[in-house]
Amino acid sequence: MIMLFTLLGFIATILGFVYLTEITGYVIHSYTFYAIVPVGGFLVGMAATAAFFFSRKFFQKPIKIKEYIIGALLGIAAYAGIYYASYLTLYISPEGEPNRWFRGEHISNFESEDGKTITFSRYMEAELSEVTHSLSRGRSLRRREFTTGETINVLLLLLQLLGAVVGGALMGLIAGGAVRYCDKCKKYMLEKELFRLHPDEYSKLIELVERKEIGFSLADSIKNLNNASSTDAQYVNVSIEYCPTCHTGHLTIKSMKKNEKSKEEEIPEFTKTVIVANDVTRSLVA
Ligand SMILES: [Zn+2]
């Protein structure tokens, strides 16, 4: 199933970018910010691996080093695939109009000026010999266009491939690579916010969780602490990350305060992570 979704997502990405370019006349996959940040490649990489990573997450399969490498390779393959698909779908209509709607004959049936068949490598040479770029500067909507020569174009292509590698791997992190995984049960852990406690309860809570002998009554003791009211400028956030099957879990205790803009902010020096017994977890998330 994962293989099928991966393949579909990968092909859809290639065709999507090819036809988006064809329809809009705008080469999105080679788009850059400030002329060097390879946004296009990055997007291609992300799009090409989204189905791969999200289906792994959906089917509770882990995302580890191997998957990140596959993601990076899929990103690069998709970027190269866009060029190859652009070649395969390039037709010349009887009126001499290049199009990608299969009107007329395929480009390989034509010859270049020096009488040679237009193969994929010749097509790429032509693609890279002169390229017009659109450039947007910062947040302004003013776009500038400029044309670059072959050396720069090859460098830009390499840069975009690098962007595709990064985008391809990064998607793994977005899809679930950052979520803890229970290797025993082969499941992604869940996260749940349990309490918002009154700031005075912080030290009591820390004392409770550090006194291991309390065992399973720990859950009840925590439940008995005072909750913060909505007017408190500060509160203690208690959340738990746990495996839904075996209930292996750990509590994260954070001290939160509202800053001048009344946005909540974590006070990092008070953050604590404590592993709790499985029956405590079970009782807390029940
Ligand atoms: Zn588990």
Cα(63) to centroid of ligand 1, in Å?
Answer: 16
Q: 92 and 28: one domain? A: yes
The number of beta carbons lying within 10 Å of the beta carbon of residue 75 is: 31
Q: Write down the mean pLDDT value for the chain.
A: 88
Q: 214 and 85: one domain? A: no
Cα(281) to centroid of ligand 1, in Å?
Answer: 12
Task: Summarize pLDDT for 108-132 with one digit per residue, the tens.
Answer: 998 877 788 899 998 898 888 866 6
Cα(193) to centroid of ligand 1, in Å?
Answer: 19
Cα(278) to centroid of ligand 1, in Å?
Answer: 10
Picking from 198, 222, 194, 196, the residue whose alpha carbon sits closest to that of residue 208 is 222
In angstroms, rounded to a whole number, what is the distance separating the alpha carbons of residues 269 and 137?
40
Q: Give the helix, strand, coil percentages of the chain, each rounded to 5.
A: 50, 20, 25
The number of beta carbons lying within 10 Å of the beta carbon of residue 97 is: 11
Please report, rounded to a whole number, the percentage of residues in the chain having pLDDT higher than 90: 56
Q: 271 and 171: one domain? A: no
Cα(231) to centroid of ligand 1, in Å?
Answer: 38
Cα(86) to centroid of ligand 1, in Å?
Answer: 47
Task: Summarize pLDDT for 6-23 with one digit per residue, the tens.
Answer: 999 999 999 999 999 999
Cα(62) to centroid of ligand 1, in Å?
Answer: 13
Residue 159 has pLDDT above 90, yes or no: yes
Cα(242) to centroid of ligand 1, in Å?
Answer: 8
Cα(276) to centroid of ligand 1, in Å?
Answer: 14
Return the structure tokens found at 187: 């499941």
Q: 144 and 205: one domain? A: no
Q: 146 and 238: one domain? A: no
- What is the pTM (predicted TM-score) of this model? 0.82
Q: 38 and 155: one domain? A: yes
Q: 245 and 152: one domain? A: no
In angstroms, rounded to a whole number, what is the distance separating the alpha carbons of residues 93 and 19?
17
